[in-house]
């Protein structure tokens, strides 16, 4: 039997600080609480990419009764050099019922009290930002009252 290779490393490439509007509740549909959160702006900062988050995107959320939240976010950033880069970021957040209610009320919650991971994908022009299309990423999320932080790591 062949042993698997060692696990790949992770390299922090940038962090997203995404400003969000007040969530719009859609109600319980198919047993899940559906909500939409508009993205209003923000910033990108890190060793491989810096820029701003453009307003106009959104986060579609389906929150299950057992604390599982499935998130699908789509928005764009403008890099320092002016390039516009699209982001699609599916995520999973898992929290206890009490923490889920606190997050839904946009209260501050310690990130250690929930699991929030994502797999961002990027559409970027060739050249300086082409590496974003040719790399697998994982994100570690932190939900703040008016902001979501996503710390993005490239899988080595």
Could you give the domains of the chain? 10-155 (2.40.160.20)
What are the tens digits of pLDDT across the range 124-144?
Answer: 999 999 999 999 999 999 998
Res. 146 pLDDT band, cuts 50 70 90: confident
* pLDDT score at 127: 95
* pLDDT score at 1: 86
* pLDDT score at 56: 95
What are the tens digits of pLDDT across the range 77-124?
Answer: 999 999 999 999 999 999 998 998 888 788 889 999 999 999 999 999
What are the tens digits of pLDDT across the range 17-64?
Answer: 999 999 899 999 999 999 999 999 999 999 999 999 999 999 999 999
CA gap 68, 62 in Å, rounded: 8
* pLDDT score at 16: 98
Q: Which of 56, 53, 61 is nearest to 15 (CA)?
A: 53
């Amino acid at each position: 039997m062949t042993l698997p290779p060692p696990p790949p490393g992770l390299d922090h490439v940038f962090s997203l600080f995404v400003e969000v509007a007040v969530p719009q509740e859609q109600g319980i549909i198919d047993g899940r609480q559906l909500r939409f959160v508009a993205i209003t702006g923000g910033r990108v900062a890190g060793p491989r990419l810096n820029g701003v988050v453009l307003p106009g995107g959104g986060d579609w959320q389906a929150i299950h009764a057992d604390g599982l939240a499935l998130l699908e976010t789509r928005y764009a950033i403008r890099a320092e050099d002016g390039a516009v880069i699209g982001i699609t970021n599916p995520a999973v957040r898992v929290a206890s019922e009490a923490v889920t209610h606190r997050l839904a009320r946009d209260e501050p919650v310690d990130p250690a009290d929930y699991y929030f991971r994502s797999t961002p994908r990027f559409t970027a022009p060739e050249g300086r930002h082409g590496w974003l299309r040719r790399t697998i990423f994982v994100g570690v999320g932190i939900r703040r009252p008016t902001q979501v932080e996503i710390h993005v790591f490239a899988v080595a």
